[in-house]
Structure 1
Amino acid sequence: MTRARSLATESVPAQGEPIPTSFAQRYGAPPPNALNMDSITSAASVVAAGLAVGLAAIGPGIGQGSASQGAVEGIARQPEAEGKIRGTLLLSLAFMESLTIYGLVVALVLLFANPFAG
């Protein structure tokens, strides 16, 4: 019997057999703290990831709001320049949004590819 077929037939519990809560419990997975990272480093990384995302969103959010306000005011004053203003606004909004994405990347690195893990 192949391994895949064996796993498929073994994963169905017989009547009265307790159902394992996960595949890992039945077939043996490393313990949850097998990353070998102490709890202080882990907690600090999670806090730093949260701060990275939060602070990376505050600045561009304020900047996008003020840029949009300026664009709307400019279009209200000079409706004939609407095309130029809109193009410049969209380009600047893309640059501002990239700063938020960089903060998200830093947070993901801290959570999943932690350089401080021992």
Structure 2
Amino acid sequence: MPRKPPIVFPQEQRLLSALGERLRLARKRRKLSNAVVAQRAGISRTTLYKVEAGDAGATLGSYLRVLAVLGLEGDLNQLGADDRVGRKLQDLALEPAPNRRTATRAKTAKSSSASNDEEPT
């Protein structure tokens, strides 16, 4: 019995549909038929239709096979390459947290040394 496709949020569906459309246009620019791309990718034409429709039920492997047939598999390296949020979180975790006791002692030491530097005349 086939599994149910995953729940896909509208924004994610728009992204998948846009990807499928770009793959369909890339196939047409190369003047390749559905049958040829499906055969070269080792998938059925039905699966290719799903990929080009942005179906969330199509496997990532199917998308990758179609990208490879179209010569676009290198584009997969760009996914997640610039992880700004992840790097920022990592940088924040690497910064030492200010220690309140040490900061309080430093302030106390500064104020006491400042009062010792003032000599009565």
TM-score (normalizing by structure 1): 0.28
Greater Rg over alpha carbons, structure: 2
Higher relative contact order (CA 8 A, sep 6+): 1
**TM-score of the aligned structures, taking structure 2 as reference length:** 0.28
